[in-house]
Amino acid sequence: MSIGTVTKSTGSWYNVRLDGEDTTLQCRMVGKFRLDDVHLTNPVAVGDRVEVAPEGDNQGMINKILPRRNYVVRQSPRRKFDMHLLAANIDQAVVIVTIVHPTIKPGFIDRFLVMIEHNEIPATIVFNKADLYDEADMDQFLAWKAVYEKIGYGVLLTSVVHGLGLEEFKHLLQGKTTLMSGQSGVGKSSLMNAIQPQLDLRTGEISDYSGKGQHTTTFAEMYDLDFGGRLIDTPGIKNLSFNNKDKANIAHSFREFFVLSQHCRFGSACLHRNEPGCAVHEALRQGDVSESRFNSYLALLEEAEDQNFWERNKETY
């Protein structure tokens, strides 16, 4: 038996790089693996540490998944009642967005942050394509920067064209295993190529007709960085929906609401809707809580209660 790390997932096959060797095996899975009684479309994720049995011709069989430090899971894009593992054993997460081309969707950012908040994984929001921002766009960026930095998230401004923020981005990634995600068309692959040119990742153009990005990444994959660290690139996500029916968990995943809830009349049981003595509502009235973040929160609550929510609102998130 050998131990290794899953570096690529293609559905039924997994690339596993063996510890202490310059060897990667293409592996299948033996048996069925579950995650906390959650139905999964892919029980093994990039970043997983696994035990494999080599079978010759650079192939092997995954017999065991070693205990995870953490994992990130989202709703399956194909089967709404199943979950999809994005990555495991990560040190931090980065979500790539842009103010324009395509237009920013704050709801997507907040959903991504909720997705990783459960495991208390540090997160940074990278606003890319700054070379396309006019004065009004820069004002928008500064406003969003203030919102997210206030509640403890990192914010970075980058431009591949002008080389803006690239050294800071490299420093952020150095020595860590990072999950990087973002909606299609935000320049994720171009940004990766800029900091590590030999990756030569395929980049996509923005559709002139729709203003939306074209998918360029098909499967999640882990890359070693020359300057230290590992980067897990995930497929470009058009939208981000959840099958999360636990409304209290949603409330606790908005970190500023969780802090304020200790001052609510009903404490951590408060859902911050119409409850009397709600500290979140008071902070909203005082301008101490972002109205955009609060609207994202209400949308997630509605989605948890309404099975048809996503079909009505998929263009927003």
pLDDT tens digits, 122-142 = 999 999 999 999 999 999 999
So what's the pLDDT on residue 212? 43
Q: Is 237 exposed, middle or buried (0-12, 13-18, 19+ CB in 10 A)?
A: buried
- Residue the block writes with tokens 């606790």: 252
So what's the pLDDT on residue 70? 93
Q: Are strands 221-224 and 123-127 parallel, antiparallel or unpaired?
A: unpaired
Contact 191, 96 (CB under 8 A): yes
- Whether the predicted pLDDT of 82 surpasses 70: no
Please enumerate in sequence order all residues whose Cβ is within 8 A of that of 92, keeping only pairs 6 or more positions apart, or say none. Answer: 121, 122, 123, 124, 172, 176, 177, 178, 179
What whole-number percentage of the chain has pLDDT above 90?
A: 60
124: phi then psi, degrees, rounded to nearest 5: -130, 140
Q: Mapping DSSP to helix (H, G, I), strand (E, B) and coil, where does residue 145 land?
A: helix
So what's the pLDDT on residue 206? 41
Residue 144 tokens read as 């969003």
Contact 239, 74 (CB under 8 A): no
Q: Identify the CATH class of 2-71.
A: mainly beta
CA gap 306, 311 in Å, rounded: 10
Contact 256, 151 (CB under 8 A): yes
Domain residue spans of the chain: 2-71, 90-233, 247-313
Confidence tier at 249 by pLDDT (50, 70, 90): confident
**Span 91-124, pLDDT tens digits:** 999 999 999 999 998 998 998 999 898 788 999 9
CA gap 32, 64 in Å, rounded: 10
What single DSSP character describes residue 289? S
So what's the pLDDT on residue 298? 93
In CATH, the architecture of 247-313 is Orthogonal Bundle (1.10)
Hey, CA dihedral for 38, 41, 47, 48, is it positive or negative? positive
Please enumerate in sequence order all residues whose Cβ is within 8 A of that of 14, keeping only pairs 6 or more positions apart, or say none. Answer: 6, 8, 26, 27, 28, 29, 44, 50, 62
- Strand ranges in 213-278 using DSSP code E only, listed in sequence order: 221-224, 230-233
Confidence tier at 210 by pLDDT (50, 70, 90): very low
Taking alpha carbons only, the member of 293, 271, 283, 18 closest to residue 149 is 293
**Span 19-61, pLDDT tens digits:** 988 899 999 987 666 555 566 677 889 999 999 999 988 899 9
Contact 232, 6 (CB under 8 A): no
Taking alpha carbons only, the member of 296, 302, 256 closest to residue 279 is 256
What stretch of H or E contains 64? strand 59-65
What single DSSP character describes residue 42? -
- Whether the predicted pLDDT of 239 surpasses 70: no
Contact 240, 185 (CB under 8 A): no
Name which residue leads in pLDDT, 254 or 75.
254
Residue 242 tokens read as 């959840």
In CATH, the architecture of 90-233 is 3-Layer(aba) Sandwich (3.40)
- Whether the predicted pLDDT of 255 surpasses 80: yes
Q: What is the CA radius of gyration of the chain?
A: 20
Contact 290, 284 (CB under 8 A): no
